[in-house]
Amino acid sequence: MAFYRYRITPRSGFATPLRSDTLYGHLLWAAAMGQGETGVTSLIESFADGAPAFVLSSAFPAGFFPMPALPAIPRTRFKSEFAGKGDLFDKLQQYKMFRKRKFWPVQLWQSLQGKISQETLFGDWLSKEEARRNSSRKDERLEPITEAYQPHVSIDRQSGSVLDQGGLFFSKGYWYRPGVDLDLYVQTEDRDAFETLLQHLEAVGYGADRSTGMGQFSFSRDESFDTAPFNGEGTHRLSLSVCAAPDLAGFEGYWIPMVKHGRAWSGFGEPNPFKKPFFAFTEGSLFRRMPDTGYLLRNIHSDQRIVQIGWPLTIPVTLEGHHAD
C-alpha cells in the first residue's frame, strides 16, 4: 500500500487522545454515517480478510516518533560510555529524565538509517538538552502537550439530562502548544476514499466533548513526505500504533503493554457504551516477529456488529549495541 503523511492542525483541546485504535473506530462510524451498514460492513471485512482498506498510526507532534521500548543501558556500560570521573550521579539523573521522554526525532531515525540503540538515542538527547538549557528561546524548552483535568457531571443516556445525584467526575484533557501540528501516517490504496472519511471527522470533531468544542482540527496531505525510508528493512518493526490481536503468540520483541477499556459511540442509539477490556501494545513497541494479519477483535461488545481494530502501522529499525540479536 502507498504511504502518506497528513498534517493535523489542532483547533481546540482534545478530550480523547488521537490514538490509532480510537481513530479506526471513528472512521468506521464515518463510513456508517456516509455509506450505511453495507459500506461499514464492507470496510470491516477488508480488515477481517487481511487486506485492510487503510492502516493508521496514532498522531504525534510533527517531526517526532514515539520513543522505542528499548531496555535500559546496563550500569557498567553506562558508566564506561557516559560517566566521566565524578559525574556518574549527574548522568544517571539525566538518564532518568531521558527515560521519561515520549518522543524522538524523525530526522534522527533518518540520519541513522534506522539503526538505533539506547546509547545512541541518549547521546543525541544529551547534546540537544545542553543546547536547550542554554537557549534563550522559551518555546524550545516547553512540552508540546499540556494535560489537565476538567470537571463534568454524569448524563443519563435515557433522559439526556444530568443525573439527580449529579455524578461529579473529572476527566483528562489535552491541549497542544500553539504552533504545534501533528503527523498522522497512513497506508492505503484508495487515498480519496480515506480522505473522504477523514473529512467527515474533521467536520464533526473527534472524541468526547465535541458538543462543547473539543476535538476540532483541520488536516492537509504532506506533499513533501519522502516515503523511501519507510519502505526499508530492519531487524525489528517500530509500531506507530496501538497494536491488538486475538492471538498474541506470534509476537516477539520489546513492548509496553496496556489494558484498554474502550467505549462505543451512542450516535445510532446504542444504549451500552462500554466495550469489554482488551490487551494491547502501545505505540513505541518493537517487534522482531509479528503476525501479518489478524488485528481485528470481535466479541468486544454486547452488540456483535461492533469490533475493535488494532492493526499497527510500523516502520523498520535495526537494533544495535547490546540490544542487537
For every residue of 139-204, which 3-state class applies, written as one string?
HHHCCCEEEEEEEECCECCCCCCECCCCCCEEEEEEEECCCCCEEEEEEECCHHHHHHHHHHHHHH
pLDDT one-digit tens code per residue, 2-21 = 999 999 999 999 999 999 99
Confidence (pLDDT) at 273: 83
Output the CA angle 182-183-185, nearest 5 degrees. Answer: 150
Q: What is the pLDDT of residue 99?
A: 94
Pairing mode, strands 2-10 and 182-188? antiparallel
Mean pLDDT of the residues in the chain: 90
Q: Is 17 exposed, middle or buried (0-12, 13-18, 19+ CB in 10 A)?
A: middle
314 beta partners: 239
> Which residue shows C-alpha cell 472519511?
197
Q: What percent of the chain has pLDDT over 90?
A: 71
Model pLDDT, residue 152: 75
Please say if the pLDDT value at position 203 is more than 90. Answer: yes
Comparing 10-24, 61-75, 88-102, 146-160, the range with the smallest average pLDDT is 146-160
In this prediction, residues 106-110 reach a mean pLDDT of 96
pLDDT tens, residue by residue, 112-127: 999 999 999 999 999 8
Residue type, 37: E
Instruction: Please give the radius of gyration of the chain, using alpha carbons only, rounded to the nearest integer.
Output: 21
**pLDDT band of 141, cuts 50, 70, 90:** low
DSSP state of 4: E
Average pLDDT of span 168-191: 92
Q: Which residue has the higher pLDDT, 267 or 187?
A: 187
Mean pLDDT of 291-308: 93
Paired residues of 103 in beta bridges: 66
Per-residue pLDDT at 307: 94
pLDDT > 90? residue 171: no
Compute the average pLDDT of residues 83-102.
88
Q: In a 3-state reduction of DSSP, which class is residue 288?
A: strand
b/e sequence 48-80, b meaning 16+ C-beta within 10 Å: eeeebbbbbbbbbbbebbbbbbbeebeeeebee
Question: Is pLDDT above 80 for 133?
Answer: no
Q: Is the pLDDT of residue 34 over 70?
A: yes
Per-residue model confidence (pLDDT) at position 253: 96
Q: Is residue 95 scored above 70 in pLDDT? A: yes
Residue 35 pLDDT > 60 = yes
Element (H, E) at 2: strand 2-10
CB 215 within 8 Å of CB 17? no
Looking at mean pLDDT, say which of 28-32, 152-156, 172-176 comes out highest: 28-32
Judge whether residue 205 has pLDDT over 90: yes
Q: Taking the CB of residue 254, how many other CB atoms lie within 10 A of it?
A: 17
Distance CA 310, CA 50 (A): 12
pLDDT > 60? residue 139: no
Helix (H, G, I), strand (E, B) or coil at 274: strand
Mean pLDDT of 49-77: 95
- Give the three cell numbers for residue 141: 524548552
Q: What is the pLDDT of residue 280?
A: 97
Q: Is the pLDDT of residue 251 over 60?
A: yes
Average pLDDT, integer, range 77-96 = 86
Mean pLDDT, rounded, for 115-141: 80
**Which of residues 290 and 273 earns the better pLDDT score?**
290
Please tell me the distance from the alpha carbon of residue 89 to that of residue 293, in angstroms, as a whole number. 46
pLDDT value of position 38:
94
Pick the more confident residue, 160 or 41.
41
Q: Whose CA is closest to 184, among 23, 12, 1?
A: 23
